[in-house]
């Protein structure tokens, strides 16, 4: 089972303070679901102090094993790490004259500079740059010159691109037309999950350009409009197969709860996390939050390298993850009968019964 990435945080000896003292503790976060229990200690047998919901921010005081220590209404409590997400973390500049840029790239304009000891609040890691609050707006600073206890637990993306693109949500595909009218000629039909650049938007029609270079119009009712990194890739791409080939090297590695060592022990999300990290892609650490990456893919359209997610009835919507390898099979780390990193058919009783969804991470 996946676990939240807080399992590696050392316990910090910090006292209780008011919720406004964000800098004192260096990080804030929120629940990833509703009615999440906050307990008196890092144990499910201890009393429930209160419950928290997604959307409200709380100060992070530290962690105890798999549990996150937070401040709720001036009191300390513990939330199981699987159900908590870090939204912001404090960091300190480690060099002198470090550039603050307008984007996550050295080719973007310089907004200003910072010196050793200057502190900023970071909200994400994008392509090697921390996104920070700067002069009432947003800036980016290289991770090579910025340090903080909780920074590595922020959400990450492989690119800072703010490209606007669309994803086909119609299961039967979406017609690309020559003009913004249902009576116009159909150029082609875009399959479910196809991504394309959006040229202009309207209330009913979107002007788009496909990766094949075709320009036309599609109905806005069957498109999910997104901003950020394009995640689709062609069927001929070798990236997914490279991920699969690398993952197969670790068949037989034992299952270890919270493990991320591909040679000595991994849990399900630790296995996927570490495999993708080898290719320079940082995913969320738990299966529950890993599903937020990429674009949804229909089961019938799975390609090698896609992530497949399952729910065995643990009380969360997602509790297991693996990597699709082709041939209706996936590779994963399990604590079940097979134990450890193994290959399983999607048609097996467990897989077919618990399958929830899939996500495409690679281009």
Q: For residue 122, which of 156, 98, 99 has the smallest C-alpha distance?
A: 156
Neighbours of 212 (CB within 10 A): 9
Catalytic choice (5, 293, 319, 332):
332
Catalytic residue flag (residue 332)? yes
DSSP letter (8 states) at residue 191: P
Tokens 């849990």, residue?
267
Counting Cα atoms < 13 Å in the Cβ hemisphere of 40 gives 5
Catalytic choice (5, 293, 319, 320):
320
Counting Cα atoms < 13 Å in the Cβ hemisphere of 15 gives 2
Q: For residue 83, which of 39, 136, 18, 139 has the smallest C-alpha distance?
A: 39
Catalytic choice (5, 268, 293, 319):
268
Catalytic residue flag (residue 293)? no
Q: For residue 91, which of 15, 16, 4, 22 has the smallest C-alpha distance?
A: 22
Residue 119 corresponds to which tokens in the numbers above?
Answer: 């502190």
CB 41 within 8 A of CB 56: no
Catalytic residue flag (residue 320)? yes
CB 232 within 8 A of CB 363: yes
What are the residue numbers of the active site? 268, 320, 332
């Amino acid at each position: 089972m996946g676990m939240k990435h807080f399992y590696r945080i050392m316990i910090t000896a910090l006292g209780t303070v008011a919720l406004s003292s964000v800098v004192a503790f260096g990080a804030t976060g929120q629940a990833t679901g509703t009615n999440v229990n906050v307990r008196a200690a890092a144990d499910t047998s201890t009393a429930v102090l209160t419950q928290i919901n997604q959307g409200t921010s709380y100060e992070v005081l530290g962690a105890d094993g798999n549990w996150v220590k937070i401040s709720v209404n001036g009191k300390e409590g513990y939330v199981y790490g699987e159900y908590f997400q870090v939204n912001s973390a404090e960091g300190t500049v480690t060099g002198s004259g470090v550039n603050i840029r307008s984007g996550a790239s050295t080719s973007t304009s310089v907004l200003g500079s910072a010196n050793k000891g200057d502190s900023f609040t970071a909200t994400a890691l994008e392509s090697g740059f921390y996104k920070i609050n700067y002069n009432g707006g947003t800036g980016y600073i290289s991770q090579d010159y910025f340090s903080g206890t909780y920074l590595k637990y922020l959400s990450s993306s492989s690119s800072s691109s703010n490209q606007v693109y669309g994803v086909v949500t119609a299961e039967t595909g979406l017609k690309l037309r020559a003009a913004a009218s249902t009576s116009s000629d159909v150029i082609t039909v875009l399959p479910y999950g196809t991504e394309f650049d959006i040229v202009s938007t309207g209330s009913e029609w979107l002007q788009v350009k496909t990766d094949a270079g075709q320009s036309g119009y599609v109905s806005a009712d069957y498109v999910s409009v997104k901003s950020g990194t394009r995640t689709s890739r062609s069927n001929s791409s070798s990236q997914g197969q490279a991920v699969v080939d690398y993952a197969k090297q670790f068949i037989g590695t034992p299952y270890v709860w919270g493990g991320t060592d591909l040679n000595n022990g991994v849990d399900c999300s630790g296995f996927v996390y570490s495999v993708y990290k080898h290719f320079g892609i940082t995913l969320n650490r738990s299966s529950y939050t890993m599903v937020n990456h990429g674009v949804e893919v229909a089961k019938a359209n799975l390609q090698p390298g896609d992530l497949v997610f399952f729910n065995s009835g643990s009380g969360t919507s997602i509790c297991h993850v693996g990597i699709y390898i082709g041939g209706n099979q996936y590779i994963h780390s399990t604590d079940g009968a097979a134990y450890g990193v193994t290959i399983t058919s999607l048609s097996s009783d467990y897989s077919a019964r618990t399958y929830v969804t899939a996500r495409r991470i690679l281009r």
